[in-house]
Each structure stands twice: as structure tokens, then as C-alpha cells.
Amino acid sequence: MGGSRRLVLYYMDFIELVADVSFRENLQNFWKYQADDTVKDLNLLELALAVHPNWTLDVTLSQKEANVIWHPVMTEVGMCLTFNSLYAEFQYMRQDMKWIPQPLLQCHYHSGQCYVRVDSQSTAVRYFVHSPYEISTAISNPTGEVLPGEELVIDYKVVEIQASPSVKGLRTEQRRCKYPDEWISDSIRAYSFSLCQMHCRSRMAVMFCGCRPYFHVKGGKK
């Protein structure tokens, strides 16, 4: 193999690693680029966005009048496209554009007409289904992977749980939980279990390495 071809493969591996980084699977593969000055000053977030295919999936909703807007987000399991996610703001990759929250899709679970259909057509897609008030993190397991020609049908049973309003008057140490409006930090003005985990890992990276990983779009500070 010629030297130029080896160099091409070397940088192709780097680009693939940047766009498809995984906190628990391939993060350690960056070690071979740590002394390479040619990639030292690259904006990895912009690089991941630039090489990602510019396409979205067709979505059919039971809420006929609603529109789906896909947002590019950088997660601890690589770059993803997401919709109907309020907390995608904290992983939003378009740093040149202001995040504009969209109304969440809603339907009554007793209606029998509450569904979302995503058509991936000839493309293999891995799905992560989670609450609009959560995000995908390093410990998230994919809901399913659909290959071309396959169909995945998932039925959900809804269980609604509400706490008494007086619970919020307790200290967090007493109730052992936080509410969404009890902010994690100035850069993450919300709370969820996954956001808290991401923020803790981001702060640890700053503590031990002196910098925040590019796939932690926000966080790392108090």
C-alpha cells in the first residue's frame, strides 16, 4: 500500500471516529492522534456536522397538523438527529444558530390513535427512544436497529405518576430527587438524570484533562 493511500485511510479513520464517537466503545482510539499537530486545532464539532449526510427521515404522526423538525445533536454515542426533544438544546450542534424550542407533540394515550411512524426506506437506522425531557448518553441502549427492508413495531404502555405538590417543599436530600426547574448549572438550565450524568462526566474531564470533550456541547462548569 502506497504512502498516500495509508495517509488517506489514516484521516478517514479519524473523521469516522469524530463523527461516530462513543464514550464507552471507541473513545480510547483517539490516542493515536494525540501527537498529530495536523488535527490539533480542528473544531471537531463542526467537522462531525460537516461530514454527516444531509438527509432526514419521513415521519407520519397521529397529530396531523404537527410538523417534525429534525435537529442535529452530538451525544456520548455519536452524532444523531432528533425530534420532539426539549432537552436536545443541550446537545444542539448548530452553534451558529439560536436554539428555538418547538412545541412537543402530544396526544391522549386513551384515544387509540397515538402513533409515530418513521420511514427509513433503504437506510439502516439505529433508534434511541426516550422522554422529551431526557437525552441519550453513554449508558443508553438503542431501542432498536432497522435494516433496509425491515420493520420495527413498538407498543408502549403509559403509566402516569404524580407526586403531591408538598413534596417539592422538602430538601433534595430528603426527597432524593430533583425537579426539572432545579438547574444543574448556568449552562444547563434544566434537570434530568441523564443530563446530570453527562454533566458529571464533563466536569471530571475538565478536572483530570483540563478540557471538555467536544461531544459535551454544554457543561463542565458549575
Euclidean distance between CA atoms 3 and 126, whole angstroms: 35
Q: What is the pLDDT of residues 60-97, one digit of tens each?
A: 888 878 888 899 999 998 899 999 999 999 999 987 88
Instruction: Report residue 87 as a C-alpha cell.
Output: 432537552
Torsional sign, CA 15, 16, 22, 25: negative
| pLDDT one digit per residue (tens) for the chain, 222 residues | 567 888 999 999 999 999 988 888 888 899 999 899 999 899 999 999 999 887 778 888 888 788 888 999 999 988 999 999 999 999 999 878 888 888 888 877 676 678 888 888 778 889 999 999 999 888 888 888 888 888 888 888 778 888 899 999 999 899 988 999 999 988 899 999 999 999 999 999 889 888 889 999 876 454
Residue by residue, DSSP assigns 75-119 as EBTEEEEE-S-GGGGGGB--TTS-----PPP---TTSS---EEEE
Phi, psi dihedrals of residue 126, rounded to the nearest 5°: -105, 130
Surface-to-core class of residue 136, CB atoms within 10 Å of its CB (0-12 exposed, 13-18 middle, 19+ buried): buried
Q: Give pTM, 2 decimals.
A: 0.82
